[in-house]
Structure 1
Amino acid sequence: MKIAVIGKGGREHALVETLANSPCKPEIYSFPGSDAILRIAQPIDAHDLESLISWMKGNSIDLCVAGEESYLVTGEGLANLCSEAGIPCWGPVKESAQLEASKEFSKEFLIRHGIPTAKAQIASDYDEAKAKIGGTYPTVLKFDGLAAGKGVAVCPDETSADEFLKEIFIDKRFGPGRLLIEECLVGPEISIFGAIVDDRYMILCPARDYKRLGDGDIGPNTGGMGAVASRQLADPALLETIERTIVAPTVAGLRKDGLPYRGFLYFGLMLTQDGPKIIEYNCRFGDPECEAVMPLLRGDLASFCLAGAKGEFKPELISFDEGWSVCCILASKGYPATSHSGDLISGLSDVTEARIYHCGTKLDADGNYLTNGGRVLAIVAQGATLDEARKRAHTETSKITFDGAQRRTDIAYRCFE
């Protein structure tokens, strides 16, 4: 089996490693990949979607796995082009990927199908947004399009809201787009992942991520500074409620709306006093949750994804360890406002009891890894208990250093103590 994994970050590194370790022993290829990924996978000679599809056809690729969300909605859409070329793709077509690409589309879908979510209004410019906020704080502001996990702001007051509105409508940080103004839901968050094949699905291992830059959930939102994953994160009664009120209605809604779906679907949830409510969908695995979940996966992920991409639902091919997994992110100097590249990373070889997934690194001429992006590394450790996993993860993370490194020391502690 030949598999092409599309993406270049820590999530894709985790997927590539897990797919490569499948019992069916597939050949793994990657585009655009990274220096770390290409130590496991073979490079794909392509520069855009068109040349990527041509390369996959010419090299008899059996399965395309979509990692990064942008490829699903760029141009005609990765899965759409794969379908035209006769290449099975584990990832939804562009029309269905609008669940992530457009917050407005997603909110309308949720309301139309009666799925619990926050109330929201739409604004097209700065003045309209100010008027619709109407002095009600805290409020949640969401840029309508893709923003690499940085297009959402929880604003406790007028000052913070004004700063974000300026980024959206005046500085146009994420390009043109409208804004959702949502009520602020309160409660612990949980990430639920589904593997969907048309009208069938299975719920994978739950996770919880930490979006704020600093300890105690302070500082700006990021793409994620760490995550904890375990089947024990949600008790059976909670999972049954989530499946009945959110997951099953979502799958039914996709079918009713004529939106084909084969791939991972992320449900970002808030556990409110009124029950679970959905904050957002992601039409791929979460990052850094993927890095935390993949080490717990058992079975044959490659065969599972290939079968699913062909419309065959085979949940018996994969399962999850009952223990805990903790992921700590090391970010570069200036992140998330900016990122820094070229800083020498030390201590990688000292990590002996955790996996290292490369989010943003590159090799220099001497074979040393340097920083090359905002989030640099994900250090992931497992344990039979939460305490064992988190102590191991933080101990191993502390062995790695580079100039300006940023990390949180409360990953898997906050929300559990």
Structure 2
Amino acid sequence: MVVGSGGREHAMAWKIAQSPQVHEVIAAPGNAGIAAVARCVDVRADDVAGIVALALREQVGLVVIGPEAPLVIGLADALRDAGVATFGPSRAAAQLEGSKVLSKELMAEARIPTAGFRIFDDADAAEAYVREARRPLVVKADGLAAGKGVIVASDTDEALDAIRTIMRDRAFGDAGARVVVEEVLRGPEVSYHVVCDGTRYVALASAQDHKRLGDGDRGPNTGGMGAYSPAAPVTPELEQQILARCVEPTLAAMRARGTPFVGALFVGLMIVDGAPMVLEYNVRFGDPETEVLMARWQGDVLPLFLGAAQGDLSGVRPSATSGAALCVVIAAHGYPGTPRKGDVIEGLDDAASLEGVQVFHAGTQRAGDRVVSAGGRVLCVTANGEDVDAAAQRAYAAVDRIRLAGSQHRRDIGWQARTR
């Protein structure tokens, strides 16, 4: 069973369904695209009791949890307590993403390279520090804030506005009771994923996300407008640094705390002067990175998920990942503000018929015999190729066959690695 309803969950369900060991995939709640590879059951991802009851009723052999919110409230613990093999960290381990304060404290204790920071639970003290600093700063709400609790302030006034928004106005509720104020790092950002069984890990391919809405990295931040893999800045030498200086100390520190990490650890990195520095942790696969990672994974992916869930990845080796993959997000009119919903999507079959293309659904639902938009990020059009250029050519050919009124997408995904 795959828990969730986005493009990440569609990509995982699609790949898991290909395993010769899998009889059926159930999705809770799923979406219109996931329904093509799984049986969708209308249970919310954060309905802990409902998910556990569904897993027991269907005699599910493995649950893969997609989003972060169910992990932070303890869904994985509840499933394991019920005897269900589960891919995803415990509630305690999920605080790596659920609490920015905890994650920064762990980095400091384990000497993991990251930006200098201060922690505040008093708005007056935070404002005094910002006025004294007189430089660009990043202000982060401590708790989960639907991806909106990190504000990069270019000057003192913007930093003060961020503290007021988070701590005084409580725009993100209790997530803003504490803040992390840290220095701004400069360099390319990359995404690095490892799958962990509590002790061992399997490294996946690197990827690079595109957060800004418009071409040339302009416009507001979003949940991600596309991604590609492998990431251009990540050389074999840099990858070894990432593992030795960032991933392995993190997993060792989690074990030392008595909260071993099981599931997908997504390390968000800034490459500063050729060296990796950790921006943040996510305790699940990224989206849209998952779409390109699953597209590049060759062979059966089930042993990866099941091995982690059962606490034994010793027999799992990284998949051969020759070539590249690239995905382009098609977003609804109004995104990332208030997206318009209910618009008919046409051309899906035409796009998916192209060689090497998969159209993953992120925010869709059925309306009679039609598929309509049901969220901000609607589709993630993904393609494989011998290199990033070839993958981009295929992905954009598919994008051009899809029709969604008022939709938005970038034309420059993968620009860091494209030569044409």
What's the TM-score, normalizing by structure 1? 0.93
How much has 1:404 moved relative to structure 2? 2.0
- Taking the aligned partners of 1:260 and 1:162, their CA distance within structure 2 comes to 37
Contact 1:188/1:415 (<8 A) preserved: no
> Structure 1's 125 and 415: CA in aligned 2 closer, same or farther, altered over 3 A?
farther
Report what 2:365 is aligned to.
Answer: 362
- Taking the aligned partners of 2:154 and 2:393, their CA distance within structure 1 comes to 33
- Taking the aligned partners of 2:374 and 2:264, their CA distance within structure 1 comes to 27
Contact 1:205/1:320 (<8 A) preserved: no
- Taking the aligned partners of 2:108 and 2:241, their CA distance within structure 1 comes to 18
Report what 1:251 is aligned to.
Answer: 251
Q: What does 1:5-404 correspond to in 2, within 5 Å?
A: 5-44=2-41, 46=43, 48-74=47-73, 77-124=74-121, 126-134=123-131, 136-158=134-156, 160-176=158-174, 177=176, 178-230=178-230, 234-273=234-273, 275-316=275-316, 319-351=319-351, 352-353=353-354, 354-365=357-368, 367-404=369-406
- Taking the aligned partners of 1:345 and 1:274, their CA distance within structure 2 comes to 43
- Find the residue that maps to 1:389 and give its secondary structure: helix
> Structure 1's 164 and 231: CA in aligned 2 closer, same or farther, altered over 3 A?
closer
How big is the alpha-carbon RMSD for the aligned residues of Structure 1 and Structure 2? 2.0
Contact 1:29/1:44 (<8 A) preserved: yes
- Taking the aligned partners of 1:291 and 1:393, their CA distance within structure 2 comes to 12
Cα distance per residue 1:8-46 (max 9 Å; x no partner): 100000000000012323411111211221222113364
- Find the residue that maps to 1:316 and give its secondary structure: coil
- Find the residue that maps to 2:89 and give its secondary structure: coil
Contact 2:195/2:304 (<8 A) preserved: no
How much has 1:283 moved relative to structure 2? 0.4
- Find the residue that maps to 2:25 and give its secondary structure: strand
- Taking the aligned partners of 1:231 and 1:170, their CA distance within structure 2 comes to 39
How much has 1:126 moved relative to structure 2? 4.7
1:384 partner amino acid: E
Contact 2:384/2:391 (<8 A) preserved: yes
How much has 1:71 moved relative to structure 2? 0.6
> Structure 1's 105 and 21: CA in aligned 2 closer, same or farther, altered over 3 A?
same
2:117 partner amino acid: A
- Find the residue that maps to 1:131 and give its secondary structure: helix
- Taking the aligned partners of 2:275 and 2:370, their CA distance within structure 1 comes to 49
Unaligned stretches of 5+ residues in structure 2: none
- Taking the aligned partners of 2:347 and 2:24, their CA distance within structure 1 comes to 30
| More divergent stretch after superposition (139-148 vs 58-67) | 139-148
Report what 1:413 is aligned to.
Answer: 415
Instruction: Tell me how many residue pairs correspond in the alignment.
Output: 411
- Find the residue that maps to 2:316 and give its secondary structure: helix
- Find the residue that maps to 2:103 and give its secondary structure: helix
How much has 1:106 moved relative to structure 2? 0.5
Contact 1:216/1:414 (<8 A) preserved: no
- Find the residue that maps to 2:97 and give its secondary structure: helix
- Taking the aligned partners of 1:315 and 1:327, their CA distance within structure 2 comes to 30
Cα distance per residue 1:219-276 (max 9 Å; x no partner): 2211111101127762211111111111111111111111122111001011102721
- Taking the aligned partners of 1:266 and 1:260, their CA distance within structure 2 comes to 15
> Structure 1's 408 and 163: CA in aligned 2 closer, same or farther, altered over 3 A?
farther
| More divergent stretch after superposition (93-102 vs 46-55) | 46-55
Over the matched positions of the two proteins, sequence identity in percent amounts to 40
Contact 2:331/2:379 (<8 A) preserved: yes
How much has 1:289 moved relative to structure 2? 0.4
1:43 partner amino acid: C
Unaligned stretches of 5+ residues in structure 1: none
Contact 2:303/2:316 (<8 A) preserved: no
> Structure 1's 291 and 80: CA in aligned 2 closer, same or farther, altered over 3 A?
same
Contact 2:307/2:316 (<8 A) preserved: no
Contact 2:5/2:31 (<8 A) preserved: yes
How much has 1:416 moved relative to structure 2? 5.4
Contact 1:45/1:52 (<8 A) preserved: no
Contact 2:360/2:380 (<8 A) preserved: yes
| More divergent stretch after superposition (195-204 vs 96-105) | 195-204
> Structure 1's 228 and 300: CA in aligned 2 closer, same or farther, altered over 3 A?
same
- Find the residue that maps to 2:346 and give its secondary structure: coil
Contact 1:44/1:52 (<8 A) preserved: no
What's the TM-score, normalizing by structure 2? 0.92
| More divergent stretch after superposition (332-341 vs 152-161) | 152-161
- Taking the aligned partners of 1:152 and 1:220, their CA distance within structure 2 comes to 13
> Structure 1's 349 and 274: CA in aligned 2 closer, same or farther, altered over 3 A?
closer
1:364 partner amino acid: A
> Structure 1's 18 and 233: CA in aligned 2 closer, same or farther, altered over 3 A?
farther
- Taking the aligned partners of 1:198 and 1:308, their CA distance within structure 2 comes to 8
